[in-house]
Structure formats: C-alpha cells, structure tokens
Amino acid sequence: MKNLPLFYCITLLWTTVANGSVYVVAEFDEKDATRILEEAFQAHYDTIRVPYMGKDWILGPIEIKASNKTIIFDSGVIVMAKTGAFGRYDKLFEIIQQQNLTIIGYGATWRMRKEEYTTGEWRHALSIVSCENINIYGLTIKDSGGDGIKIGRRGQQLAYSKNIHIRDCILDNNRRQGISVISVDTLLIENCVLRNTNGTAPQAGIDFEPNNSDERLRAITIRNVDSYGNKGYGIQFLLPRLNSSSMDISAVIQNCRVWGNIRGGVMVKSIGDKGVAGTITFDGCIVRDNLGNSFTIQQKSKLAARVNITNCHIYNSDDYPIHLWGPAVQLGGIRFKNSYIVDNVDRPFLFVQGGSSIFDITGNVIVNNPFGGYMSIGNGSSNVTVQDSIETDITTFVAIPDINPRGGYFTTPITVSLSTETESAEIYYTIDGSEPTKNSLKYAAPLTLSQSALLKIQAYKDSHKSSIMRATFSISRGEIPPKPPEKLKVPE
C-alpha cells in the first residue's frame, strides 16, 4: 500500500455524523494510546467518541482537559491501565477545574491493575477535582489502586466540586473505596452498584469524609444504589473534620440496598458536640445480612447534625440492628419513623454501649422478633423519648420491590422484570413518572419498553405498602446517546 499524504491521514481522524459534530478517534496504538486520547479530549469538537477497536486501550495517567464536551466510550471498549505506569499518586483519569463535561460509557469498562498496587491508596480510576457540572453515565470502573471515583477539591479557588451526577455505573473491586466524597455541593448518585471494595481502609462502598472544615457535603442524594460485598461498611459518614463553623450537611440516602458487607451496613461517626449541623436521612433503604451492625452510630452528639432513619427495613444483622456508642459526647439527635426491624435473636434492637448516656432519640420503630422488641440503653433511660409505641409484633411488612435492569441507556427496546421478596405482594407501576397506587398498572409479566420512561413501582400486601423504587430508561435508536439534562436539579 502506498503511503498516504499527511493531510489525508489527519482527515481520517475527524468525522461528522448526522446528529452533530463528533470527533471519532481513529488512531490507535495497542501498546500505549495515552497520547492519542490526551489529544483527542482536547479536540475542538462538542463530542469525542472512543470506538471499540477489538483490543484494549492501554493508557498511562491522563488529565482530561475538556470543558463543554461530551466524551463517549463505545460499548465493548476496555480501557486498561498500563503495567508499571502508575506511581503512588497517579490516576487513570483526572478532571481538574473543568466545567460542563459529560462522560458516557454504557457497556464500556475502565480497569486498572490492582494486583500491582500493594501499597498506597491514591491510584484512583477517576478523580473529579474542583469541577462544576460533571456527568458520569454507564461506566464499569474496577480494580483501581484507590477509589473507583473520588470527588473533592484542590487548592482554595473552589473548595468543592459542584453539580456532579453519577448514574448507572458499577464500581467493582477497588482498593480503598467504590466512591469517596470529600467536598461537594449538589451531588446525585443513582442506579449504581458499589461492590467488593477491599485492599486498604476504610474499604467502604461509599465514604463521605471531608479533610478540612471549609469543605462541604451539601445537597447530596444517593438513590437506588446497591452497596454490597465490601470489606468495610456499605455506606459511611466519617466527619471529624467538619465542625460548627462548617456549612450544614444535607444528605438523603434513598431506596438503597446495603447487604453482605463485612464490617457492617451503615456507619455515621464523629459528629461531636461542636460538630457540623444539618441532617443525614436514610429513607426507604433495605439494610440486611451484614456482618457487624446494621447501623453503627458512634460519637454522634445531640447538639449537632440530626440522623433520620425513615421507612427503612433492617434485618438479619450479625450483631445489633442499631448500635449507639458515644464516649465524650452527648449522644443523640436521632429520629426513627416507620422503620421495620426483623430479628430472630433474643437481643435489643437498639443497644447503647456501656457508660454512654443518650438524649433526644425519638420516633417509632416496628419490631418483629419472637422475643419481643426492646432496647438496652444503660444510663440513658430517663433521656429517651419514644413517640407512639414500639410494636413487638407485626404480621406484614412489605419489602421494597426490585427492577431488573435498574435503568440505563439502550439502543433497542428493553425487557424489564419486577420482583418483590414479600410473599403474595402485588406490584403496581407507572412509566410516566407519576407515583404508583393501587389504581396504577398491575404487574403480571415482564415489561417491554420501546420508549424512554421513568419507571416507578410499589408493592402492596393487604393494607400495607412498600416504599417506591424508581429507575430511568433512556432508549435511543441513534448511534450517539442523548445528551443529559443541562442542569442538575438540587435535591429538596
């Protein structure tokens, strides 16, 4: 074959498709494609597309300098960290002080070489640093030497990242965390799986852990997330660095499932008497089959941020369903509402570790235990107020139903199945985003969705009902996935 003129070789790298200006990366180096993608991400096109080449994209560390762009990794693409190329603090991808960037990777995988990283905890697969309006959709991220995704800040110019949306991602077998959140204002994580974190502490599915008092955890919503098989906790808030001068924390963990984690299900720790104000709410979550406690709330003062546990289902704890421990603080500031605890062991559903006094713990909990529902609160008995009553027997509790798959982007019609763990429960659903009731469509067989839909489902048994499970399905016949909404709505 004759050598092609240089101008023709360059022309091959640039393509325009029918739905807009798109740069399709055509150059490829199966040994090291770092330079190729670095240059591609800086191309003056709105959309950069990384195609499937039949072989892995082998990369060293890359800083993505690409504001106001969409980057698409085609289905089947595997990005693989280059052997020996990552020092102690290197990241596979790092985004620093960029804005309005969307990365889409349904069917694509980013993979590092965790087996090489026997020390350290900072070789993250994706680090988002002091950025605004960043969307990450559909990627599988695995085997990092640190976090699958880290969200934080750099320097004083912007002490947090802002408007971050992570959807339909799988974070698997990462060394330190599935996701670490250091400092953020407006974060939505939905329809994600955080699993099998192991290697170096804390080893959580997701960890909220600011480093400085000027950092923030504001307007956070985590919904429809599965966190399981992690060596640490499924979800944890570790907040010793925030204090009364910090911006109030506001976080809602909604319709999540936390199970099979080694250290425990959920942990909230180190909100002292002079700790950060605000609220952390767990709403409609299933916390089950964890080693350790289902909920561990440690050093959580009544004078600081409140923890709400609402409409949650807690069962099959290896240790206590709820364990409170608060040396050196006025332990309290916890509210229960319509949460169900199912246990078959003769033990308190709420255990206060010896010597701690408790204050301002209120609400109602429904306990299903053949030995009855009771608390062990030690010295704090006179300081506990339980509104309504603690019911020791329930005949019906309806588990949150499941959607399979739990949303995503699809180019063809998709079959969706619904299920519930509650025997004889019936599932009702809507596909227009409205709230389901018994007057909605009744599920009888798998659904086929041929158009984009916001699916909401709810299970009913007799007069009892579950919390609502949601999933978003985007269905497009074109080559390029549709762009996400321009603005991320701040959670209420």
**Does 188 share its domain with 144?**
yes
Q: Is the pLDDT of residue 362 over 90?
A: no
Tokens of 324: 């409170």
Q: Is the pLDDT of residue 81 over 60?
A: yes
Q: What confidence score (pLDDT) does residue 353 get?
A: 84
> Tens of pLDDT along 425-469?
999 999 998 999 999 999 999 999 999 888 999 999 988 888 788
Give the number of domains in the chain.
3
> Tens of pLDDT along 269-312?
999 999 999 999 999 998 999 999 999 999 999 999 999 999 99
**Does 271 share its domain with 338?**
yes
**Does 43 share its domain with 65?**
yes
Domain C-terminal end among 156, 182, 200:
200
Q: What confidence score (pLDDT) does residue 72 get?
A: 93
**Does 33 share its domain with 174?**
yes
Q: Is the pLDDT of residue 471 over 60?
A: yes
Q: What confidence score (pLDDT) does residue 35 get?
A: 97
Residues 64-87 have a mean pLDDT of: 95
Residue 483 belongs to some domain of the structure: no
Q: What confidence score (pLDDT) does residue 483 get?
A: 45
**Does 135 share its domain with 112?**
yes
Residues 358-364 have a mean pLDDT of: 82
Q: What is the mean pLDDT of the chain?
A: 87
Q: What confidence score (pLDDT) does residue 239 get?
A: 98
- Band (325; pLDDT cuts 50, 70, 90): confident
Q: Is the pLDDT of residue 183 over 70?
A: yes
Residue 218 belongs to some domain of the structure: no
Q: Is the pLDDT of residue 4 over 60?
A: no
Residues 398-420 have a mean pLDDT of: 84
Range of the domain at 415: 402-475
**Does 38 share its domain with 174?**
yes
**Does 375 share its domain with 451?**
no
| Per-residue 3-state assignment (H helix, E strand, C coil) for the chain | CCCCCHHHHHHCCCEEECCEEEEECCCCCCCCCHHHHHHHHCCCCCEEEECCCCCCEEECCEECCCCCEEEEECCCCEEEECCCCCCCCCCCEEEECCEEEEEECCCCEEECCHHHCCCCCCECCEEEECCEEEEEECCEEECCECEEEEEECECCCECCEEEEEEECCEEECCCCEEEEECCEEEEEEECCEEECCCCCCCCEEEEECCCCCCCCEEEEEEECCEEECCCCEEEEEECCCCCCCCCCEEEEEECCEEECCCCEEEEEEEECCCCCCEEEEEECCEEECCCCCCEEEEEEECCCCEEEEECCEEECCCCCCEEEECCCCCEEEEEEEEEEEECCCCCCCEEECCCCCEEEEEEEEEEECCCCCCEECHHHHHHCCCCCCCECCCCCCCCCCEEECCCEEECCCEEEEEECCCCCCEEEEECECCCCCCCCEECCCCEEECCCEEEEEEEEECCEECCCEEEEEEECCCCCCCCCCCCCCCCC
Q: What percent of the chain has pLDDT over 90?
A: 64
CATH number of the domain enclosing 409: 2.60.40
**Does 385 share its domain with 408?**
no
Domain C-terminal end among 200, 218, 247:
200
Q: What confidence score (pLDDT) does residue 395 get?
A: 42
Q: What confidence score (pLDDT) does residue 396 get?
A: 52
Q: What confidence score (pLDDT) does residue 120 get?
A: 94
Q: Is the pLDDT of residue 331 over 70?
A: yes
Tokens of 151: 């969200």
> Tens of pLDDT along 238-259?
999 999 999 999 999 998 989 8
**Does 349 share its domain with 433?**
no
**Higher per-residue pLDDT: 486 or 133:** 133
Indicate the burial class of 154 (C-beta count within 10 angstroms; 0-12, 13-18, 19 or more). middle
CATH number of the domain enclosing 128: 2.160.20.10
> Tens of pLDDT along 6-25?
333 333 333 333 334 889 99
Number of CB atoms found within 10 A of residue 158's CB: 16
Q: What percent of the chain has pLDDT over 70?
A: 88
**Higher per-residue pLDDT: 445 or 330:** 445
> Tens of pLDDT along 207-225?
999 999 999 999 999 998 9
**Does 270 share its domain with 354?**
yes
- Band (397; pLDDT cuts 50, 70, 90): low
Domain C-terminal end among 181, 200, 219:
200
**Does 322 share its domain with 249?**
yes
- Band (3; pLDDT cuts 50, 70, 90): very low
With CA atoms as reference, report the closest residue to 251 among 283, 228, 225, 205: 283
Residues 40-69 have a mean pLDDT of: 95
Q: What confidence score (pLDDT) does residue 484 get?
A: 40
Residue 220 belongs to some domain of the structure: no
**Does 253 share its domain with 129?**
no
Q: What confidence score (pLDDT) does residue 478 get?
A: 56
Q: What confidence score (pLDDT) does residue 393 get?
A: 38
